[in-house]
C-alpha cells in the first residue's frame, strides 16, 4: 500500500512547480485531480517541441497518473461545484496568478472554512509577503533575482543560468514535503493548515552554504566552472579522450589521487597538505594535474581511480547517461503505458519498490464527466 493511498488532492496549478507537487503526491499514492481551463488546459501542454501527439513532453514529465477535469472558473456554478467538492478533499495545491484565488473566493481562508481538515498549499514566485508578493515570475527571472546566476559559469564571465528547472522542481519538492508534514500533524490535531513555498525561497535555500560564507567575509563566492572554489580537487579535467569529474574532496583522497597519477610527491608537498592550502595554492597545483590527466584516456583514469576508491566519473551527455548500466538498474526511467515517451519517475523507492503512477498522462478534461457530471459545468467558454 502506498503511503498516501486514500488522500484526495485538487490541483489548481499549471506550468511546472505546482504540477510537480501534485506529481510527487500522486506517485506516493494520492488521487490527484487536476483542474484545467476549458480552452486548452494547462499552458505547459503547449511548451514544445518536443511533443508527442499534441502534448509537450514537458507537461508529461510532471502530470503522470493524474485525473483531469476542465472547469471555467469564471462561471459561478463551476466555482460553487468546486467549493462543495472541496468539503471531502484532503489537499488543495494552487499556483494561480497572484490574487486570482482571492478574486474567485478560493483562497485558503475560504476553503479551510468549508473544510477545517484541508491542507491548502500555495506556490508563488516571490513568496506570500513583502513588496513583490503580488508579482508574477518564472524560473529564469528568479535565478537572476536571487543571485544564483552570478554563482555559475566562469569567474569574471557573464551570468549563467542553471540549465535544469531547479527552482520550479525544487519548489514543488518543498511544497510536497510541507503537505506531507501537515497531513501528519493533522493526525494529532484533527485540523489542516496552510503550506507556502516559492521559487525565491527555494533559490535562497539552495544557496545557504554560500551565503553563510558571504555573511562572514562580505565577499560573494567565486565562480569555478565545474568545480567548487572552496574544495580542491573537486572539478572536471580534460583527458586524452573526454572530460572526467574527480572529487578528491578530503586530504586522504587527495593523497591517493596523487598516487594514482604517479606523483606521490605532490600529495606529500607541504603546499598541498590540507584543503585550505590547496585552495590557496591552486594556481600552481591545477595546471600540473591538468597536464598529467591529459596523458591518458578518461576510461583508463576512471578504472585506476575507482580501484583506489577515489570518487570520479565521466561527464555524460543525455545519450551516454541513458546507456549507463547503473541508470538502467535503478529502473527510474520508464515508458508511459500508452505512448512511447520515457519519463523519469520519482527519485525514491518505498520498501524497495520503485514508485510508478497508476495511470498515464491525462488529456485535458478527460475525467470531467466521471467526476463533475453536471452539464452546466461542461459549457464551452464564451467567445
Q: Would you please indicate which residues are annotated as catalytic (active-site) residues? A: 168
Rounded to the nearest 5°, which phi and psi values hold at 176? -65, -40
- Spatial separation of the C-alpha atoms in residues 192 and 169, rounded to whole Å: 24
Of 115, 161, 127, 124, the C-alpha closest to 21 is 124
Which of helix, strand or coil describes residue 172? helix
Evaluate whether 123 touches 13 at the Cβ level (below 8 Å): yes
- Work out the burial of residue 129: count CB atoms within 10 Å of its CB; fewer than 13 is exposed, 13-18 middle, 19 or more buried: exposed
Q: What is the CA radius of gyration of the chain?
A: 25
Of 195, 200, 143, 191, the C-alpha closest to 13 is 195
Question: Mutual orientation of helices 251-260 and 298-307 as an angle, nearest 10°?
Answer: 130
Of 121, 133, 108, 98, the C-alpha closest to 175 is 121
- Spatial separation of the C-alpha atoms in residues 314 and 238, rounded to whole Å: 11
Cell of 100: 486570482
Contacts for 46 with CB less than 8 Å, ≥ 6 apart? 40, 56
Amino acid at each position: 500500500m502506498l503511503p498516501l493511498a486514500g488522500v484526495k488532492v485538487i490541483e489548481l496549478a499549471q506550468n511546472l512547480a505546482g504540477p510537480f507537487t501534485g506529481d510527487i503526491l500522486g506517485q506516493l499514492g494520492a488521487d490527484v485531480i487536476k483542474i484545467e481551463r476549458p480552452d486548452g488546459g494547462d499552458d505547459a501542454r503547449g511548451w514544445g517541441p518536443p511533443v508527442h501527439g499534441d502534448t509537450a513532453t514537458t507537461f508529461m514529465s510532471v502530470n503522470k497518473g493524474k485525473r483531469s477535469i476542465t472547469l471555467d472558473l469564471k462561471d459561478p456554478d463551476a466555482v460553487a461545484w468546486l467549493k462543495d467538492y472541496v468539503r471531502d478533499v484532503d489537499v488543495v495545491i494552487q499556483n494561480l496568478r497572484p490574487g486570482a484565488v482571492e478574486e474567485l473566493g478560493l483562497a485558503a481562508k475560504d476553503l479551510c472554512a468549508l473544510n477545517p481538515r484541508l491542507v491548502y498549499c500555495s506556490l508563488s514566485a516571490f513568496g506570500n509577503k513583502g513588496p513583490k508578493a503580488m508579482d508574477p515570475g518564472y524560473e529564469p527571472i528568479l535565478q537572476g533575482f536571487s543571485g544564483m546566476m552570478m554563482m555559475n559559469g566562469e569567474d569574471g564571465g557573464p551570468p549563467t543560468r542553471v540549465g535544469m528547472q531547479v527552482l520550479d522542481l525544487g519548489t514543488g519538492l518543498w511544497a510536497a514535503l510541507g503537505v506531507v508534514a501537515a497531513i501528519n500533524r493533522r493526525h494529532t490535531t484533527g485540523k489542516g493548515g496552510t503550506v507556502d513555498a516559492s521559487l525565491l525561497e527555494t533559490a535562497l535555500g539552495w544557496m545557504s552554504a554560500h551565503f553563510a560564507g558571504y555573511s562572514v567575509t562580505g565577499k560573494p563566492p567565486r565562480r569555478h566552472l565545474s568545480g567548487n572554489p572552496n574544495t580542491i580537487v573537486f572539478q572536471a579535467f580534460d583527458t586524452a579522450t573526454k572530460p572526467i569529474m574527480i572529487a578528491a574532496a578530503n586530504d586522504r583522497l587527495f593523497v591517493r589521487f596523487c598516487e594514482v597519477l604517479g606523483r606521490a610527491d605532490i600529495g606529500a608537498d607541504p603546499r598541498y597538505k590540507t584543503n585550505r592550502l590547496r585552495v590557496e595554492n591552486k594556481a600552481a597545483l591545477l595546471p600540473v594535474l591538468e597536464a598529467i590527466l591529459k596523458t591518458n584516456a578518461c576510461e583508463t583514469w576512471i578504472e585506476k581511480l575507482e580501484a583506489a576508491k577515489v570518487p570520479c566519473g565521466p561527464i555524460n551527455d543525455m545519450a551516454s547517461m541513458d546507456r549507463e548500466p547503473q541508470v538502467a538498474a535503478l529502473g527510474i526511467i520508464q515508458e508511459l503505458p500508452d505512448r512511447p515517451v520515457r519519463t523519469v519517475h520519482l527519485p525514491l523507492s518505498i520498501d524497495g519498490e520503485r514508485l510508478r503512477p497508476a495511470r498515464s498522462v491525462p488529456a485535458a478534461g478527460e475525467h470531467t464527466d466521471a467526476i463533475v457530471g453536471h452539464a452546466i459545468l461542461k459549457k464551452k467558454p464564451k467567445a
